[in-house]
Amino acid sequence: MTRIIDCMPLAPETGVCAEHGAYQFRYQAMGSRFYVADTCPQCAAALKIKEQNEDAARRQREEQARVERKRCEAGVGLRYVQASFESFIAETNEQAKALSDCVAYAEHIAAGGHANLVMSGQVGTGKTMLACAMVNRLLATGRRVRIAKLGDIVRTIKDSWQKTGCKTETEIIRELVQLDLLVIDEVGQQRGTETELLLIFEIIDGRYQAMLPTVLISNLDKDGIRDAIGDRAFDRLRQDGGKLVAFNWGSMRGLRRTA
């Protein structure tokens, strides 16, 4: 407790703490009056440290939550919200090469580069996880990044044709085109219709014109991806020095920690 008195006592008053024993009250001048702190000084110091630690822990939790929210908004699923390049444990030379290619690509984009990237390989080889690690890495540099499944992008655009009051097709495409990095996952899960191919081209071409990088993830090989997105979109991707990272190994799922 703190109270205020008009004049100092002749001798300091004392108290007894159950834990720390006898102690003297502390007095502090405040104008012509005095503050009296009559609590145990050791207890007061311990309480202050405890409060500081709790404050720091709370700030850290809030920062962590803010980072995770940003990652979720960028399309990173909960499974990979903590994914980083360190989460990917390379056990073969091929895996080490894929990892170092992805790290180099993220650095390239962070440095303002705009080359495209195709990540191609079987299900469960770690493509999406490494792509999320890239997204997480670039979000930390303040870039506007998004990862989305091709099917979801197409569905969102088609939905905009039906619903009123939501974003229009033009707005959705403009947003995708203006992102600092767009990662399109699950390319070629099904052969696109002519309309879908047009939408894909519009997005990829828009980004090409704006000199912004795009990453494609697919279970298909190069020819399969060309079939899935159409020749024109595929050519656009290659025109800005597109690189292909091959994930040529069996499923790693269940063998790896994912974060």
- Structure token digits, residue 129: 């996880």
Question: Considering the rule CB under 5 A, would residue 61 count as an interface residue with Zn ion?
Answer: no
Nearer to Zn ion (CB atom), residue 39 or residue 160? 39
Question: Considering the rule CB under 5 A, would residue 42 count as an interface residue with Zn ion?
Answer: yes
Q: Which stretch binds Zn ion (CB under 5 A): 10-18, 61-69, 213-221, 226-234?
A: 10-18
- Which of 9, 13, 20, 63 lies at the binding interface for Zn ion (CB under 5 A)? 20
CB of 43 to Zn ion, least distance (A): 3
Distance between CA 165 and CA 186 in Å, rounded?
29
- The rounded Cα 178 to chain-centroid distance in angstroms is 18
Q: Which of 136, 28, 239, 185 is nearest to 231 (CA)?
A: 239
In the block, residue with structure tokens 């002749």: 10
Exposure b/e, 12-26, CB count within 10 A at least 16 = b:
eeeeeeeeeeebeee
- Structure token digits, residue 76: 């990173």
Nearer to Zn ion (CB atom), residue 40 or residue 183? 40
Q: Which stretch binds Zn ion (CB under 5 A): 34-42, 97-105, 120-128, 225-233?
A: 34-42
- Which of 25, 26, 43, 81 lies at the binding interface for Zn ion (CB under 5 A)? 43
Nearer to Zn ion (CB atom), residue 46 or residue 65? 46
CB of 20 to Zn ion, least distance (A): 4
Residue numbers at the binding site for Zn ion (CB under 5 A): 17, 19-20, 40, 42-43
